């Protein structure tokens, strides 16, 4: 019997149509599944979270990785790729602190973003450090104190030099990552990392050029940064056309304890803080600081910063751990009340005082004026445009004409002293400038409980963080905060008593 072509059994015909349809749709379905998979990888934005606020401060993200983050494995590999650009072994040789069992130093956070783990700096990198009782004693970590051993300029130089080197290529970096146990997938090895390495090199070379003004300054040494000239770079100021006197703003990392009691001063107005008192709002000081952690208005993680901000409101410095001569301290308390309390607060926790949180004019305080001159009216105006359109737009930056009278909580851990870190100990600060050390070593974390400050007499001794600071160089002047009102004319025994009292802060 001749078969009627239309007489196919219905079951088989459905099969064929189904097969055909599947064939037609399969690539789309596969593309969709792969696409969703890639999207879930490359669109994910997941910071590593920490329950405790202290851990969040040390290792939590403020959002900087989104804009500025280094791919985790590149970060890990670079010290092996460019060892000649580091003063010693790994990031620790730049004064970064590794806690036992941690793969990243304090102050470095991690976030899964754009399909890879990315890392960047957070607040703790500049606001946490260590103290030791003796050269062979274990270091104690103190959150909120100035990172007086971290050399951020050497850190930048390391990345800039490495990006300029012929070895900053995937041919060198990817095998190094694999050798370190990176276990990268095919996609990572052949697409993601080569692209990331290329982008990172371009970006570092661009930043190197824009920050080149820094290399005309004397080295900052550990524990210092030029905050506001770096801000001008971010606003695209033509750095080489600025007046020379503006271009030397290197200053000490401050402590950031007790931001709550630092809000209001005796007259009910906000305290003028930052070294030159250029901002009265701790919330703005925090958000402005967040630029230092690589964030920008659209990328800042406000919830994460908010957590740090809240915790800093009443984070207190650790108490002086060595003996105090009570009788001597009591004598010092009277002198402090007479000479210092008006400007620095009634005590280590009581910040009341008629002039606390006010700015003392430069002619009166007489300290090095470079940091003051580095902050300009033009910069204040530009900062006022930051976060424009957001509810937290900056409104309180202003140009001042002196340095701020700040509370002295935890002053024992804030050495070296003055905004440019030019005086190694409290006892030295009570001497007239002519009798203060002309050169000394910065960056030691071994404590000197007699003169109150860190030891400053040790040469390198294998510790790459130690740095010879020269007060004769521009911006490093150790003059000022001198004369009758500042206690430098007191008898030696009175100065000793004052220092004894300041130990209790």
Comparing CB distances to ligand HEC, the nearer of 78 and 372 is 372
Residues 6 or more apart whose CB falls under 8 angstroms from that of 505 comprise: 320, 347, 348, 408, 409, 410, 411, 412
**Interface mask (CB under 6 A) for ligand HEC, residues 270-309, using x and -?**
---xxx------x--xx--xx-xx-----------x--x-
Comparing CB distances to ligand HEC, the nearer of 192 and 231 is 231
Contact 148, 168 (CB under 8 A): no
* 425 is a contact residue toward ligand HEC (CB under 6 A): no
Least Å distance, CB 136 to ligand HEC, is 28
* 313 is a contact residue toward ligand HEC (CB under 6 A): no
Contact 172, 81 (CB under 8 A): yes
* 403 is a contact residue toward ligand HEC (CB under 6 A): yes
Binding segment (CB under 6 A) for ligand HEC, from list 8-16, 36-44, 340-348, 469-477: 340-348
| Choice from 119, 343, 386, 433 touching ligand HEC (CB under 6 A) | 343
Residues making up the chain, counted from first to last:
505
Residues 202-241 that bind ligand HEC (CB under 6 A): 225, 227
Comparing CB distances to ligand HEC, the nearer of 176 and 471 is 471
Contact 115, 41 (CB under 8 A): yes
Contact 478, 433 (CB under 8 A): yes
- In whole angstroms, give the CA distance from residue 390 to residue 296: 12
* 94 is a contact residue toward ligand HEC (CB under 6 A): no
Contact 419, 291 (CB under 8 A): no
Name which of 248, 212, 220 is nearest 376 in CA terms: 248
Residues 160-199 that bind ligand HEC (CB under 6 A): none
- In whole angstroms, give the CA distance from residue 250 to residue 228: 9
- In whole angstroms, give the CA distance from residue 190 to residue 209: 29
* 263 is a contact residue toward ligand HEC (CB under 6 A): no
Least Å distance, CB 449 to ligand HEC, is 16
Name which of 340, 495, 324 is nearest 407 in CA terms: 340
Residue 398's CB is within 10 A of a number of other CB atoms, namely 17
* 155 is a contact residue toward ligand HEC (CB under 6 A): no
Least Å distance, CB 45 to ligand HEC, is 19
Least Å distance, CB 263 to ligand HEC, is 11
Least Å distance, CB 309 to ligand HEC, is 6
The count of residues interacting with ligand HEC (CB under 6 A) is 51
Q: CA-CA-CA-CA torsion for 76, 82, 84, 87, nearest 10 degrees?
A: -30
Residue 314's CB is within 10 A of a number of other CB atoms, namely 11
| Choice from 98, 172, 311, 339 touching ligand HEC (CB under 6 A) | 339
Contact 420, 252 (CB under 8 A): yes
Binding segment (CB under 6 A) for ligand HEC, from list 31-39, 82-90, 209-217, 405-413: 405-413
Specify burial of residue 168 (Cβ count, 10 A radius: 0-12, 13-18, 19+). Answer: buried
Comparing CB distances to ligand HEC, the nearer of 77 and 379 is 379
Residues 41-80 that bind ligand HEC (CB under 6 A): 62
- In whole angstroms, give the CA distance from residue 256 to residue 277: 14
Comparing CB distances to ligand HEC, the nearer of 176 and 251 is 251
Least Å distance, CB 327 to ligand HEC, is 19
Contact 24, 92 (CB under 8 A): no
Residues 6 or more apart whose CB falls under 8 angstroms from that of 104 comprise: 59, 110, 119
Comparing CB distances to ligand HEC, the nearer of 149 and 344 is 344
Comparing CB distances to ligand HEC, the nearer of 98 and 339 is 339
* 152 is a contact residue toward ligand HEC (CB under 6 A): yes
- Interface ranges with ligand HEC (CB under 6 A): 62, 121, 123, 125-127, 152, 225, 227, 251, 253-254, 256, 259, 262, 273-275, 282, 285-286, 289-290, 292-293, 305, 308, 339-340, 343-344, 355, 360, 365, 367, 403-405, 408, 411, 414, 417-419, 426, 429, 481, 485-487, 498
């Amino acid at each position: 019997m001749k078969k009627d072509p239309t007489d196919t059994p219905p079951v088989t015909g459905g099969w064929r149509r189904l097969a055909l349809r599947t064939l037609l749709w399969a690539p789309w379905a596969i593309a969709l599944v792969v696409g969703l998979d890639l999207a879930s990888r490359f669109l994910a934005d997941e910071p590593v979270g920490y329950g405790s606020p202290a851990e969040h401060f040390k290792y939590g993200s403020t959002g900087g990785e989104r804009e500025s983050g280094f791919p985790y494995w590149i970060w890990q590999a670079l010290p092996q790729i460019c060892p000649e650009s580091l003063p010693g072994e790994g990031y620790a040789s730049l004064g970064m602190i590794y806690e036992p069992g941690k793969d990243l130093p304090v102050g470095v956070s991690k976030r899964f973003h754009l399909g890879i783990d990315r890392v960047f700096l957070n607040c703790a990198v500049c606001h946490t450090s260590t103290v030791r009782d003796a050269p062979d004693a274990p270091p104690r970590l103190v959150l909120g104190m100035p990172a007086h051993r971290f050399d951020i300029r050497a850190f930048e130089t390391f990345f800039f030099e490495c990006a300029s080197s012929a070895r900053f290529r995937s041919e060198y970096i990817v095998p190094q990552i694999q050798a370190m146990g990176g276990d990268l997938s095919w996609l990572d090895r052949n697409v993601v990392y080569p692209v990331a390495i290329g982008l990172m090199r371009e970006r570092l070379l661009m930043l190197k050029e824009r920050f080149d003004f820094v290399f005309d300054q004397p080295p900052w040494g550990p524990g210092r940064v030029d905050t506001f000239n770096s801000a001008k770079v971010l606003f695209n100021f033509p750095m080489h056309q600025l007046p020379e006197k503006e271009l030397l703003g290197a200053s000490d990392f401050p402590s950031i304890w007790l931001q709550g009691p630092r809000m209001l001063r005796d007259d009910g107005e906000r305290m003028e803080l930052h070294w030159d008192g250029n901002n009265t709002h701790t919330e703005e000081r925090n958000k402005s600081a967040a630029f230092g952690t690589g964030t920008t208005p659209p990328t800042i993680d406000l919830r994460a910063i908010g957590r740090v901000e809240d915790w800093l409101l009443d984070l207190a410095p650790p108490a002086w751990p060595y003996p105090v001569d009570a009788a001597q301290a009591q004598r010092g308390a009277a002198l402090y009340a007479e000479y210092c309390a008006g400007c620095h607060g009634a005590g280590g926790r009581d910040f009341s005082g008629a002039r606390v949180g006010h700015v003392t004019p430069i002619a009166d305080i007489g300290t090095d004026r470079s940091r003051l001159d580095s902050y300009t009216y033009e910069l204040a105006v530009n900062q006022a445009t930051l976060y424009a359109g957001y509810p937290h737009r900056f409104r309180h930056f202003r140009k001042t004409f002196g340095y701020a009278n700040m509370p002295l909580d935890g002053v024992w851990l804030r050495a070296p002293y003055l905004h440019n870190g030019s005086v190694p100990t409290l006892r030295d600060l009570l001497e007239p400038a002519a009798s203060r050390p002309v050169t000394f070593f910065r960056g030691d974390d071994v404590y000197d409980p007699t003169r109150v400050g860190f030891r400053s007499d040790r040469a390198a001794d294998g510790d790459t963080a130690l740095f010879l600071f020269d007060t004769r160089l521009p911006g490093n002047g150790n003059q000022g905060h001198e004369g009758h009102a500042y206690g430098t004319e007191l008898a030696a025994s009175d100065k000793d008593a004052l220092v004894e009292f300041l130990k209790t802060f």
